[in-house]
Amino acid sequence: MSDLGLMHYCLGIEVWQKEEVVFLTQSKYARDLLYKFNMQDCKTLSTPMDVNMKLTAYDESKKVDSYLYKQLVGSLIYLTHTRPDISYVVGVVSQFMQNPSQAHWKSAKRILRYIQGTLNFGLKYEQPEVPMLVGYTDADWASNIDDRRYTSGHTFSYGTTTVSWSSKRQPTVALSSTKTEYRALNNATQEAVWLRRLLVDLGQSQVDATTISCDNQSCIHLAKNLILHAQTKHIEIHYHFVREKILDETFDLVFCKSEDQMADIFTKSLGKCKFKKFLTLLGIEECNFIIEGEC
């Protein structure tokens, strides 16, 4: 154990420490979860959700035990504390806990197949060379096929690893993709304000503006150009909180290509190559401190 570093265990979360590296995982919890649902010998999959999968509450396949389904989904929700890579898909399957079907159950078990192949994955934290807070925000307009509500997501990294993330199905229907992206940007901006204040308390004040990347040009123009606001009165006034933060140079809103939009992993299912790329960018990797059988 001393050669590999010190491990602390609290409420299912393992904290592995060695020199200047800290690793957060839930490998034992994940392994116990597989045994609980008799999936310890299941075949592995490279992504937690099929890229073309669209689940609906009006699925006509056979219904399953809702109590068992709730147990599985609840256990997976706890696993997202150190596994942001499953946040989106867990959010999707959690929408059907009242009346789950075989299709919903199959999708939830697919997450376990993905977990089986990534048991020792977690968040790796190192001393950042450039201690800068950087964010990404995204939204998937009208993505829910039942009510056309959208899913928003954002992520913030400090150095090379994610420190805050969110994947949330919003309670309203947006009338345009711009409005969708702008609301998602507002949520990300509020989170960034809180993180900057937290870093001040930790003695890591951010001198420069925090960069937030968005892949929607209309949203960026709206936030930066006051003239356009007269054409968007349907967007509630409090969402212009974003513009105030840009004017006082707390934040810098920049455009990024869709293929580089890390927040995509929190708003939609992705293909294998793109999913793996974002895993690396989020700082999620296998913990090489773990000895098989000791965790």
Q: Which of 55, 52, 122, 141 is nearest to 91 (CA)?
A: 55
What are φ and ψ of residue 132, in 5° steps? -115, 140
* 160 secondary structure, DSSP code: T
Give the β-pairing of 161-169 and 121-126.
unpaired
- Helix 27-36 and helix 102-117, axial crossing angle in degrees, nearest 10: 140
Paired strand residues for 122: 25, 285
pLDDT of the residue at 77? 94
Q: pLDDT tens, 87-114? A: 999 999 999 998 899 999 999 999 999 9
pLDDT of the residue at 178? 79
First to last CA, the chain: 11
Q: Please give the helix or strand (H or E) that residue 25 lies within, else none.
A: strand 21-25
pLDDT of the residue at 136? 94
Q: Which of 144, 136, 182, 167 is nearest to 281 (CA)?
A: 136
Show pLDDT as tens, one digit a residue, over the chain (295 residues): 334 455 555 567 888 888 788 899 999 999 999 999 999 999 999 999 988 788 888 888 899 999 999 999 999 999 999 999 999 999 999 999 988 999 999 999 999 999 999 999 999 998 888 789 999 998 887 676 666 777 889 999 998 889 999 998 877 776 677 788 888 888 899 999 999 999 999 988 888 899 999 988 888 888 877 655 555 655 666 567 887 888 888 888 899 988 889 998 998 888 899 999 999 989 998 887 664 444 4
Q: pLDDT tens, 27-80? A: 999 999 999 999 999 999 999 998 878 888 888 889 999 999 999 999 999 999
pLDDT of the residue at 146? 67
DSSP 59-84: --SPB--HHHHHHHHHHHHHHTTT-G
Q: Which parts of 27-180 are beta strand (E)? A: 121-126, 133-140, 151-158, 161-169
Q: Which of 28, 113, 37 is nearest to 287 (CA)?
A: 28
Structural domains in the chain, CATH included, are 6-123 (no CATH), 129-266 (3.30.420.10)
The answer to whether residues 153 and 167 touch, using CB atoms and an 8 Å cutoff, is yes
